[in-house]
Structure 1
Amino acid sequence: MDDNTSILMSFEFTKPSPLVITLTFVASISGFMFGYDTGYISSALVAIGTDLDNKALTYSQKELITAATSLGALIGALFAGAIADLFGRKPVILFSNVMFIAGAVIQCAAHTVWTMIGGRFVMGIGVGFGSLIAPLYISELAPSRFRGRLVIINVLAITGGQLVAYGIGAGLTDVYNGWRILVGVSLVPTAIQFCLVIFLSDTPRYYVMKGNYKKARDVISKTHKGATSQSIEAKIKEFDRLNDTIPGGNIWIKSWNAIREIHLVPSNFRALILACGLQGIQQFTGWNSLMYFSGTIFETVGFKNSTAVSIIISGTNFLFTLIAFFVIDRVGRRKILLIGLPMMMLSLTLCAIAFHFMNITFEDHDALLNEDTEITGWAIVIIISMIWFAASYAIGIGNVPWQQSELFSQSVRGVGTAFSTTVNWAGSLTISSTFLTMLDRITPTGTFAFFAGVSLFSLVFVYFLYPELSGLQLGECQDILTNGFNIKRSKELSKRRKQEMKNKDHFIQKKEKERSLPDMISRKLDKIELN
């Protein structure tokens, strides 16, 4: 190992500074808004009643209202990466705040279905920008040892937003126009983030991309307290090495050349396959169908207070995301997926079986439960299987895809994360606009069996293609993909890096004990003299 590599490893193994933690939490407000949006619509669809166009919403209108945000997010995510590379990560966060606020105001004032759809679309653009930029911003600031956990703070914010939305929705169930208050609450965290971000810096990697080395050094010295000038210069040189500047005279030519590079350079294309694959898996295994329509699902199987039941699902998601926060860098991304995906498949299969024994029919696209009003045993099985599904999802595929930034080289990171986040929202759009129709056309059993089949395919995809990246520096993540997916080599390198971290921790603890021993002896001698 050369001296420069040793310096960089020491630099990356340091604990996140208070400033890095602060920047992470501020950026994660975008994740909270992402989660709050997916959470409140489930309650709102139940609570709107006849407030829009003076008549109850049809299944088709529910799908359109829900899908509008996904369409906006898809468009936003598609352009967010290029804009982040051109103008910076910080301006993209601010723009997403503006779109969140505009969308929320339109929805609060809506009295027709199409006005509501328009507000949801505008908010969706903000969601798309925010869902891409928050994990990108965090991953570029975080030391490699803690990158997984810090990015999961954003995922925790997403699940926390969902849980808060369900909780507020349950509390406003019987309040006149309560759903408007539910939407309006989203203005508060958005305004807070906007005010805070104005005073924060961009990432050192972005400053190096733009040739502003002085600003990059200033930020690194603040985010890595105690870093020597030698380690800061080594980090700047690493950024420069990774910053294979894309040629082009303007943003459109640069973007086109980046698109070419991400498809023509084998390591970049493998990264794209993995990032897009994981984001697609996250959506097509059916989680957002549960988030968007959980209230509708639980109403269908006989639960009168469906929003309260949804809180249990969302709470499970939050709890197991919190567990993932503590174990992801220790257990590893690959292993955690290989644990979660089989559990998802089994829970979805159980759900499909339970729906088979529920006597549900559809008339004019509305679900009817042809049984007594009492909740049946099979309805309880559906709840249990969905809680199991939520736990399995949260521990793995709910958070690992958002580690996507580590897969891409710096020169194509913006366009790479844009593509993969767009896949996520394309999947969300597909699921949100077809889920209720799927329940009608292929039955609930067929729908959840389809999701179980996708989970099985996903398990095969991860087993054969996804390498272990926990503990690796960003440059090492890209090197792993240079001559294949290199599953075996990635596991060996990750294990070696983790062992080096343990050795370093042990060395630090030993030094601290050695330093404290003379102090302890001195204190005892002082006591003897006093006596």
Structure 2
Amino acid sequence: MQQPLSFDRERTESTASQSTSNTLLDALSDKPSNLVWTLTFVTSISGFLFGYDTGYISSVLVSIGSDLNGKELSIKQREYISSATSLGALLSSILTGFLADLIGRKFTLILSDLLFIIGALIQYFTYDLNEMIIGRLIMGFGVGLGSLCAPLYISELSPSKFRGRLVTINCLAITGGQLIAYSIGAIFSNLSHGWRIIILLSLLPCIIQFISISFFLPDSPRYLIMKNKFNDAIIVLKKIYPNSSDSLIHSNVEELQQLNLLWNNNDNIFQKLLSSWIELFSISSNKRSLIIACGLQAIQQFVGFNALMYFSSSIFELVGFKNSTFVSCFIAGTNFFTTIIALFIIDKIGRRKILLYSIPLLFSSQIICALSFAHIDINDINNNNNNIWKYILLISLIMFEMFYSIGLGNVPWQQSELFPQKVRGLGSSLSTATNWFGSMVLSYFFLSLMNSISPSLTFLIFAFNTLISFIFIYYLYPELSGLQLEQVQDLLSDGFNVSKSINLHNDSLNGYQLINQH
């Protein structure tokens, strides 16, 4: 099968919503295969690096002292350092999706590792503020590539009924990276130049991923089919669905080829990029997918979570906790263990329902945070030692973390399931860029905002954003759990169809049960 399978558009449109072979393959899979598990864990190292980066900077900012240019860091310099990675991730994520379509998911992650290594080494050896910022920027390029490509890679290899929890493993790796970064920060931050050790340790998982992906893992079947590498796609699909027949695997390859109308192979790189842009913004279902994906990624940032992760040590130092980095471990630990809960329930309960249950609780915790800050004098740390409100603040921030991580911390990264193959890379790029734009804005202005309008009003702004996000999700976000990647475009073709999506979700669960019974 070396030539593209023949098909016509009329046949494609008539079968686009059926995904028959995919449904059968998923029903025959009682658990993810060894290849799927291996690729998920190796690819999720990108998530770990993403999390480690957001976690270690919190302890570095309070322990770096006068090591850079012989001066203590000002508030604005802290914001420059923390936001540099977000800026780099924003810039790289804009093109990551197209790059992933051009060179593959596998080689995009390899490039991500190389950029991360270069950025980390610059930070480790520098004694200059500007070089530190440059190192963070280059590391950000790598983080941007990995944050988009890792969940995309996993979602394209995963059977649909396991897709939610497998992508959530990447989110779990993010929270695990944050927890380990905080823990290592608590150990090394009191040592002379201990912050350099914290940065250097990030190279170990990066090197492991680089070697594993380079030599042992294949690209995704959908990408291989997109490049007309059908024999390679069949080999990979047999490893994903080891209990399936050869005829069913071949049917699946043919179906994916029919469902995913792609570029003319004679087009150059600019024609392909232009074609994707036109396709994304001219087809109604793609535009709705983009609204949902970008909306969820914006929500994930503007409810204030990453500001908390970047500056939790600074916040606890501000309100009078002596070992602020150690206290921050409670935040990271809550994030990690709550994500484990999300891992087991996301495909059973559904993405939409998890968000609608968790967001009101998140809103409540933000209101308590604002109330707590209103009773704390941040200008007189000594008087806060016996202030009960700083402990209420700690509890409310833990609640913030808990209700965020079970919903908004995970669901937006399911973004690739919203887009058809031809625009999946570009659509994921724009939505991931939205996330990193929000992260950059928050990390650049958060401390200044706390200082200028007060921490209490800052968290009230976050709470207002959370309220708006609930309205957005209630009316516009359909239930996509259990649906095939190729079904979503049909669902969104004539509206957001929230009610219809819930019925399809229930039907898919019942369908798997019926097929398994027979």
Q: Is the 8 A contact 1:344 1:392 kept in 2?
A: yes
Alpha-carbon distance between aligned partners in 2 of 1:394 and 1:166, rounded to the nearest angstrom? 17
Q: Which string of whole-angstrom CA distances, capped at 9 and with x for unpartnered residues, describes residues 75-95 of structure 1?
A: 111111111101111110000
Deviations 1:239-274 (A, max 9, x none): 112321135721122112211211110000000000
Match of 2:107 in 1: 91
- Alpha carbons of structure 1 residues 314 and 308: separation in structure 2 relative to 1, 3 Å: same
Partner Cα separation in structure 2 for residue 245 and residue 147 of structure 1 = 23
Q: Which residue of 2 aligns with 1:196?
A: 212
Cα shift at 1:373: 5.1
Match of 1:408 in 2: 419
Segment of structure 1 superposing worse, 453-462 or 435-444? 435-444
Relative to structure 1, the CA distance from residue 102 to residue 427 in structure 2 (aligned partners, 3 Å threshold; closer, same or farther) is same
Q: Does structure 1 residue 291 correspond to structure 2 residue 319? A: no
C-alpha distance in 2, partners of 1:408/1:389? Answer: 30
Indicate the structure whose relative CO is greater, using CA pairs within 8 Å and at least 6 residues apart.
Answer: 2
Task: Give, in angstroms, the shift of residue 370 of structure 1.
Answer: 5.4
- Is 1:458 aligned with 2:475? no
What is the letter of the counterpart of residue 282 of structure 1? Answer: Q
Q: Determine the structure 2 residue equivalent to 1:16.
A: 32
Check conservation: 2:19, 2:255, Cα contact below 8 A. no
Q: What residue number does 2:322 align with?
A: 304
Write the letter of the residue equivalent to 1:9.
Answer: T
Q: What does residue range 208-247 of structure 1 map to in structure 2 within 5 Å?
A: 208-247=225-264
Q: Which has the higher mean CA deviation after the structures are superposed, 423-432 or 476-485?
A: 476-485
Contact 2:19 2:484 in 1 (8 A): no
Q: Which residue of 2 aligns with 1:116?
A: 132
d(CA) in 1 for partners of 2:315 and 2:386? 13
Task: Check conservation: 2:319, 2:381, Cα contact below 8 A.
Answer: no
8 A Cα contact 1:320 1:395, kept in partner: yes
Write the mapping of 1:469-484 to structure 2, written as runs, cut at 5 A: 469-484=480-495
Residue 336 of structure 2 is matched in structure 1 by: 318
On the 8 A contact 2:376/2:384 being kept in 1, the answer is no
Q: What letter matches 1:268 in structure 2?
A: N
Corresponding residue number in structure 1 for 2:356 = 338
Q: Give matches, 1:85-484, under 5 Å.
A: 85-199=101-215, 200-247=217-264, 249-360=267-378, 368-369=379-380, 371-372=382-383, 374-484=385-495
C-alpha distance in 2, partners of 1:437/1:168?
27
Q: 1:134–1:154: 8 Å Cα contact kept in structure 2?
A: yes
| Matches of 2:167 and 2:218, distance apart in 1 | 18
What runs of 5+ residues in structure 1 fail to find an aligned partner? Answer: 361-367, 509-531
> 1:6: Cα distance to partner?
4.7
Q: Which runs of 4+ in 1 moved over 6 A?
A: none
| 3-state SS, counterpart of residue 474 of structure 1 | coil
Q: State the alpha-carbon separation in 1 of the partners of residues 313 and 383 from structure 2.
A: 20
Query: Residues 91, 7 of structure 1: CA spacing in aligned structure 2 closer, same or farther, 3 A cutoff?
Result: closer
Partner of 1:32: 48
State the alpha-carbon separation in 1 of the partners of residues 61 and 381 from structure 2.
23
Contact 2:165 2:346 in 1 (8 A): yes
| Structure whose CA Rg is larger | 1
Match in the other structure for 1:521: none
What does residue range 465-504 of structure 1 map to in structure 2 within 5 Å?
465-504=476-515
Q: SS at 2:26's partner residue?
A: helix
| Corresponding residue SS for 2:383 | coil
Structure 1, 232-241 or 348-357: larger mean CA deviation: 232-241
Deviations along 1:20-46, one digit per CA (max 9) or x if unpaired, are 100111100000000000000000001
Matched, 1:48 2:64: yes
Q: Secondary structure at the match of 2:487?
A: helix
Letter in 2 for 1:46: V
In 2, Cα distance between the equivalents of 1:8 and 1:278?
A: 27
The CA distance in 2 between the partners of 1:467 and 1:136, in whole Å, is 20
C-alpha distance in 1, partners of 2:256/2:385? 63
* Equivalenced residues, count: 499
Residues 302, 375 of structure 1: 8 Å contact kept? no
Per-residue deviation, 1:161: 0.3
Distance, in Å, in 1 between the alignment partners of 2:441 and 2:368 is: 24
**Offset of 1:287 from its aligned partner?**
0.3
CA contact (8 A) 2:479 2:498 kept: yes
Cα pair 2:115 2:138 within 8 Å, conserved: yes
Whole-angstrom distance in 2 between the partners of 1:370 and 1:87: 53
Note if contact 1:169-1:182 (Cα within 8 Å) is conserved in structure 2: yes
Kindly indicate whether the alpha-carbon contact (under 8 Å) linking 1:78 and 1:422 is maintained by their aligned counterparts in 2. Answer: yes
Q: Read off the aligned partner of 1:91 and give its amino acid letter.
A: F
Q: What code does the residue aligned with 2:56 have?
A: Y
Equivalents in 2 of 1:205, 1:412: separation in Å? 13
Residues 454-490 of structure 1 deviation map (CA, whole Å, 9 limit, x = unaligned): 0000000000000001111111122111110000100
Moved more, 92-101 or 439-448: 439-448
Deviations along 1:291-347, one digit per CA (max 9) or x if unpaired, are 000000000011010111110011001111000000000000000000111111111
Q: Hey, what does 1:364 align to over in structure 2? A: none
Is the CA contact 1:148–1:470 (under 8 Å) kept in the aligned structure 2?
A: yes
Kept in 1, the 8 Å contact 2:384–2:390? The answer is no
Kept in 1: contact 2:86–2:437 (CA 8 A): yes
Contact 1:8/1:234 (CA < 8 Å) preserved in 2? no
Contact 1:281 1:454 in 2 (8 A): yes
% same residue: 49
Supply the RMSD in Å over aligned alpha carbons.
1.4
Tell me the distance in 1 between the aligned counterparts of 2:258 and 2:174.
Answer: 34
Alpha-carbon distance in structure 2 between the residues aligned to 1:391 and 1:373: 25
Name the CA distance, whole Å, in 1 between partners of 2:373 and 2:19: 56
**Which sits farther off after the overlay, 239-248 or 142-151?**
239-248
Question: Which amino acid in structure 2 is aligned with residue 198 of structure 1?
Answer: S
